[in-house]
Amino acid sequence: MNGEEPMAHAAWLPAEAFGALGARRVLVHGEGLLVDTVFDEVAGACAGHGGQVWRTGVGAESGDAPTAGAVRPVAGGSAVGAVDLVLALRGPGPLPAVVARAGTTTGDDGPLGDEGFLLARADDVTVVLADAPAGLLYGLFHLVRLGEAAFDAELPVRRHRPALRRRMLDHWDNVAVHPVMGQVERGYAGGSIFWRDGAARRDAPRIRAYGRLLAGCGVNAISVNNVNVHATEARLLTDRLDEVAWIADALRLYGVRVHLSVTFAAPVVLGDLPTADPLDEKVRDWWATTSAQVYARIPDFGGYLVKADSEGQPGPFSYGRDHADGANLLAEALAPYGGVVHWRAFVYDHRQDWRDRFTDRARAAYDHFAPLDGRFHDNVVLQVKFGPLDFQVREPVSPVIAAMPATRLAVELQVTQEYTGQQRHVCYLGPWWSEVLGFRPWGPGERTVADVLADVPGPGPARGGDLVAVANVGDDPYWCGHPLAQANLYAFGRLAWDPRLDPGAVLDEWIDLTFPPSTSGDPALVRATLHAVMDGSWRTYERYTTPLGVGFMVRPGHHYGPDVDGYEYTPWGTYHFADRDGVGVDRSRATGTGFTGQYPPPWSQVYESREHCPDELLLFFHHVPYSHVLHSGSTVVQHIYDTHFAGVEQVVAMRERWRRLAGTIDPAVYERVGERLDEQVRSATEWRDQLNTYFFRKSGVPDARGRRIH
Ligand code: GCV
């Protein structure tokens, strides 16, 4: 780090995690920027753990390059000694003989793609083979995850390719500190790693370390500024482009491409044009010229991210145009360079009348976008929040995902814990995302959400899509504020690479990497404790916060802590409609907003019916009496009491479990997590007492078990 910055925590890539690889004799073969990165990583690991490394395949004559430090210099191809590991990029020249000796080509049945790799082992050599440099990089980090197992004689031959082509983090970082939202909107990990007080930080070691962590979990794209693009941030597109280019240069070393949030009004605010009308020739020219300048400076620039006609951001509606017109305008400007537009579907009326029970914010994205299916250019990616509302602890999956077969989609998750404890609470979100990605919009036996994104064949043209998440990283020494929130970032990347991974197994990977057994007093205790604290933490969070999918009930503005009626009489469209008789939102077709009709069967019927609707979503879809009996056998109001008491007990138990780790892990991590668990116990208790008291006072129904309600 530079002089003024504290050293950032190593997260899932501490030196110890490279122990198995770094103790070996390694050959890196191939050339290119990312192969250099692989070589540097291996050389660093070997320097620390006593191994040796050679490099071949560089330059026209493919001569071996001498290396330094703990690395044995070699003069020519013949001097490469016996090796334990080869990382080889297939190129025009011959592969090292050892690759053929290892017999990996027998497992080779086709191209590995831009990011894939083949892992094989024979003749006591482990081989990673890739067709493109990024594949070698991901292969390297796969070896790190495997540790000693990568050198097991029985290691099976396996091809690895990411399910999703773009695995992207959106930073909601402001360049200038926003008077209300601060440096990072919904940021819970200190300041921005990119920007401070209006200036670029240019903290090279930190950004490099970030790129490394991203590659280490499979993320290959980021956007570097908030989707709410204010005056200062708008200029990143033009006169402040150098600052974006600097970040792109730093992250390129780890295969991460940079995207930029832009304002739809850019031609007006930056270009002095009188209009930003997407059908105006001058506006089109302005975007074309501006985009050409961006690519002249950043040839591998990813593209634009746009929040339009949403929460006050400008958009095509101002000109009587629709969102296909708006998105296609930018898509055309980016197309010559292979760039994409991520166009957000988060469009709704945030000036709603709370008295009106039929205008439904949940309907808005589908109502706006489903009619536009087929109109978007091929390099438009419609970015849809995973649920119809806003990253709640429980929501149904957005019906937009099933409604746009002719449109490329990105599903947007929220790694930053805006509504899930703001990185003060332990809330491992892997299981929740896994449920979302595994949801089958067309019912059992049909494709999952992940299949839709991954282009698994089904009805409609194959389009392919992305998984995107709002980042949870800041300049906090632990990156995420809460050290255990690092697991959410890691799990996002891993699930985007392979959505079928079991989130519990992903947690195991993260534990082994982040808390290497060699550094802990009692590895088995560390692993068991982290599982006990984290495995069920999302469901625990759900228990002590909003019940049965009803959502919100958070303090308006900052969204931390309970305030049951905080949003009830506001224009934001996030209501629960609790009265003396019952609670929940009637979104049925029969008597409510009709939202259930946005789903294909069977869900349109399942959600329509009070009887068949899953308990955990009942209040999202129905307004029911407190006496309504759930599938669990409990009444709604008794369920609220029981889950809130249970949730707090579970948080208290989490804290007890954590305390058993005293003396076994890094004391600073132990302390930081301990402090946050104290706050989690306090906050969960506050949630329990407010929620239980509120529903007791509304309903007059006492707790069947006679516990204390205020
Ligand atoms: C960046 C929610 C958040 C806002 C965020 C918005 C969005 O409303 O509270 O901070 O704005 O979502 O996703 O655009």
Distance CA 237, CA 232 (A): 10
**Contacts by 631-636 with C-beta closer than 8 Å and gap 24+?**
635/701, 636/547, 636/548, 636/582, 636/583
Q: Which atom of ligand 1 is nearest to the CA of 228?
A: 1
pLDDT the model gives residue 463: 65
348 alpha carbon – ligand 1 mean position (Å): 12
Tell me, using a 6 A CB cutoff, whether residue 420 lines ligand 1.
no
Tell me, using a 6 A CB cutoff, whether residue 390 lines ligand 1.
yes
Neighbours of 300 (CB within 10 A): 12
Burial of 156: CB neighbours in 10 Å, binned 0-12, 13-18, 19+:
exposed
Q: Which atom of ligand 1 is nearest to the CA of 227?
A: 1
The H or E element containing residue 625 is strand 624-625
User: 210 CB contacts (<8 Å, ≥6 apart)?
Assistant: 193, 251, 473, 479
Residue nearest to atom 11 of ligand 1 (CA): 228
The answer, yes or no, to whether the previous bond of 66 is cis (omega within 30 of 0) is no
pLDDT the model gives residue 67: 44
Q: Which atom of ligand 1 is nearest to the CA of 186?
A: 10
Active-site choice (84, 203, 390, 703): 390
- Kindly tell me if the per-residue pLDDT of 325 is higher than 70: yes
- Kindly tell me if the per-residue pLDDT of 71 is higher than 50: no
**Amino acid residing at 297:** R
Distance CA 584, CA 550 (A): 6
Active site residue 418: yes
Mean pLDDT of 461-489: 92
Strands 380-385 and 340-344: parallel
State phi, psi for 407 to the nearest 5 degrees: -130, 135
pLDDT the model gives residue 103: 53
User: 528 CB contacts (<8 Å, ≥6 apart)?
Assistant: none
Note the pLDDT tens digit of each residue in 104-152: 555 556 789 999 999 998 889 999 999 999 999 999 999 999 999 999 9
Tell me, using a 6 A CB cutoff, whether residue 227 lines ligand 1.
yes
Mutation pick for ligand 1 pocket among 174, 185, 305, 391 (CB with most ligand atoms within 8 Å): 185
- Kindly tell me if the per-residue pLDDT of 2 is higher than 60: no
Q: Which atom of ligand 1 is nearest to the CA of 412?
A: 13
Tell me, using a 6 A CB cutoff, whether residue 173 lines ligand 1.
no
Q: Which atom of ligand 1 is nearest to the CA of 385?
A: 13
- Kindly tell me if the per-residue pLDDT of 76 is higher than 80: no
Tell me, using a 6 A CB cutoff, whether residue 307 lines ligand 1.
yes
CA atoms within 13 A on the CB side of 115: 19
Active site residue 115: no
The H or E element containing residue 173 is strand 173-178
9 alpha carbon – ligand 1 mean position (Å): 28
Distance CA 615, CA 17 (A): 42
Distance CA 701, CA 697 (A): 8
- Kindly tell me if the per-residue pLDDT of 587 is higher than 60: yes
Note the pLDDT tens digit of each residue in 157-211: 999 999 999 999 999 999 999 999 999 999 999 999 999 999 999 999 999 999 9
Tell me, using a 6 A CB cutoff, whether residue 552 lines ligand 1.
no
Overall size of the chain counted in residues: 710
Q: Where are the alpha helices (DSSP H) in 298-429?
A: 323-334, 364-369, 400-403
Task: Name the one residue in this structure whose structure tokens are 């792109």.
Answer: 248
pLDDT-based confidence at residue 92 (cuts at 50, 70, 90): confident
Mutation pick for ligand 1 pocket among 192, 346, 351, 416 (CB with most ligand atoms within 8 Å): 346
Q: Which atom of ligand 1 is nearest to the CA of 172?
A: 1
Distance CA 312, CA 350 (A): 9
Mean pLDDT of 45-72: 70
Q: Return the ∠ at Cα 535 (arms to 534 and 541), rounded to 5°.
A: 70
Tell me, using a 6 A CB cutoff, whether residue 9 lines ligand 1.
no
pLDDT the model gives residue 458: 60
SS3 assignment, position 392: coil
pLDDT the model gives residue 6: 59
Mean pLDDT of 659-671: 96
What DSSP line would sit under 231-287, residue for residue? HHHHGGGTTTHHHHHHHHHHHHTTT-EEEEE--TTHHHHTT--S---TT-HHHHHHH
307 alpha carbon – ligand 1 mean position (Å): 10
219 alpha carbon – ligand 1 mean position (Å): 22
CB 119 within 8 A of CB 126: yes
Mean pLDDT of 374-386: 96
Tokens of 461: 């043209």
Mutation pick for ligand 1 pocket among 186, 383, 414, 472 (CB with most ligand atoms within 8 Å): 186
pLDDT the model gives residue 322: 98
Tell me, using a 6 A CB cutoff, whether residue 347 lines ligand 1.
no
182 alpha carbon – ligand 1 mean position (Å): 14
CB 619 within 8 A of CB 549: yes
Mutation pick for ligand 1 pocket among 169, 170, 172 (CB with most ligand atoms within 8 Å): 172
Distance CA 339, CA 288 (A): 12
Active-site choice (64, 277, 332, 418): 418
Percent of the chain with pLDDT over 90: 89
User: 70 CB contacts (<8 Å, ≥6 apart)?
Assistant: 46, 47, 48, 50, 51, 52
Note the pLDDT tens digit of each residue in 532-584: 999 999 999 999 999 999 999 999 999 999 999 999 999 999 999 999 999 99
Tokens of 486: 């690092």
- Kindly tell me if the per-residue pLDDT of 250 is higher than 50: yes
CB 193 within 8 A of CB 246: no
185 alpha carbon – ligand 1 mean position (Å): 8
Distance CA 394, CA 356 (A): 24
Mean pLDDT of all residues in the chain?
Answer: 94
Mean pLDDT of 584-589: 98
565 alpha carbon – ligand 1 mean position (Å): 20
Residue nearest to atom 8 of ligand 1 (CA): 390
In the chain, DSSP finds a helix count (H) and a strand count (E) of 22, 21
Indicate the DSSP class of residue 617: G
pLDDT the model gives residue 94: 86
Distance CA 279, CA 277 (A): 5
339 alpha carbon – ligand 1 mean position (Å): 25
Report the candidate in 506, 588, 586, 514 with the shortest Cα–Cα distance to residue 550. 586
Q: Which atom of ligand 1 is nearest to the CA of 181?
A: 10
Determine the angle formed by the axes of helices 133-146 and 503-514, rounding to 10 degrees.
80
Tokens of 645: 């008491």
pLDDT-based confidence at residue 38 (cuts at 50, 70, 90): very high
Mean pLDDT of 233-245: 98
Distance CA 394, CA 552 (A): 10
Distance CA 116, CA 160 (A): 5
Q: Which residues pair with 496 in a beta bridge?
A: none
pLDDT the model gives residue 464: 75
Indicate the DSSP class of residue 189: S
- Kindly tell me if the per-residue pLDDT of 74 is higher than 60: no
User: 384 CB contacts (<8 Å, ≥6 apart)?
Assistant: 345, 365, 369, 398, 400, 401, 409, 410, 411, 412
385 alpha carbon – ligand 1 mean position (Å): 11
Mean pLDDT of 213-219: 98
Tell me, using a 6 A CB cutoff, whether residue 361 lines ligand 1.
no
Determine the angle formed by the axes of helices 241-252 and 204-217, rounding to 10 degrees.
50
Active site residue 671: no
Indicate the DSSP class of residue 562: B
Indicate the DSSP class of residue 635: B
pLDDT the model gives residue 75: 35
**Amino acid residing at 580:** R
- Kindly tell me if the per-residue pLDDT of 697 is higher than 70: yes
596 alpha carbon – ligand 1 mean position (Å): 24
Phi-psi region of 202 (alpha: psi -120 to 50; beta: other; left: phi over 0): left
**Amino acid residing at 76:** G
677 alpha carbon – ligand 1 mean position (Å): 26
Tell me, using a 6 A CB cutoff, whether residue 62 lines ligand 1.
no
Q: Which atom of ligand 1 is nearest to the CA of 311?
A: 14
Task: Name the one residue in this structure whose structure tokens are 């939102």.
Answer: 585
Tokens of 626: 């407190």
Mutation pick for ligand 1 pocket among 227, 263, 311, 412 (CB with most ligand atoms within 8 Å): 311
Active-site choice (249, 300, 311, 353): 311
Q: Return the ∠ at Cα 8 (arms to 2 and 10), rounded to 5°.
A: 130
Percent of the chain with pLDDT over 70: 94
pLDDT the model gives residue 95: 87
Report the candidate in 484, 481, 506 with the shortest Cα–Cα distance to residue 493. 506
430 alpha carbon – ligand 1 mean position (Å): 21
Tell me, using a 6 A CB cutoff, whether residue 228 lines ligand 1.
yes
